[in-house]
Amino acid sequence: EVQLLESGGGLVQPGGSLRLSCVASGFTFSTYAMSWVRQAPGRGPEWVSGISGNIVSTYYADSVKGRFTISRDNSKNTLYLQMNSLRADDTAVYYCAKPDWGYAFDMWGQGTMVTVSS
C-alpha cells in the first residue's frame, strides 16, 4: 500500500524552528520528486517546496525561501522540511505529497499541524 506518514508538527513560538519528516512506503521513493504543501485553516492548499528524486534540484515558494530547507534521505525513504524563523502565518497543516502525471499530486500524507504562537 502506498503511504506517506508525516511527523514533527507542534506548537512553536515565533522565531522558532521545527523539522518535519515524512516516511514513504509502497513505491520506489528515490524515483519520484516530492513536495511539501500546507493548508491554513479555511484556506486552499499552498505549495511550499519541492525536491527532485535525485536530490539535485530544490524549489521553494517565495514565502518560505531563505527560511525553510527541503531535503530527503532516499536510503530511509524519508522527506524532511527544516523550518526556521517561523512566523504566525506559517501556521497550517503541512502535507507531504507525491506528484505524478506531470505535477498533479496523486498521493498525500495525513498531515501534521504546525502552530506558531506565543
Binding residues vs another protein (CB under 8 A): 35, 43-47, 50, 59-62, 95, 99-106, 108-111
Closer residue to another protein in complex, CB, 66/102: 102
Nearest distance in Å: CB 81, another protein: 15
Nearest distance in Å: CB 86, another protein: 19
Kindly give the pairing relationship between strand 58-60 and strand 112-116. Answer: unpaired
The span from the CA of 22 to the CA of 77, in Å, is 8
The span from the CA of 2 to the CA of 10, in Å, is 25
Torsion angle of alpha carbons 90, 43, 98, 53, nearest 10°?
-40
Closer residue to another protein in complex, CB, 28/110: 110
Closer residue to another protein in complex, CB, 16/47: 47
Half-sphere exposure in the Cβ direction for 12 (13 Å, CA): 22
Closer residue to another protein in complex, CB, 9/109: 109
Nearest distance in Å: CB 105, another protein: 6
Nearest distance in Å: CB 64, another protein: 10
* Three-state secondary structure call for residue 32: coil
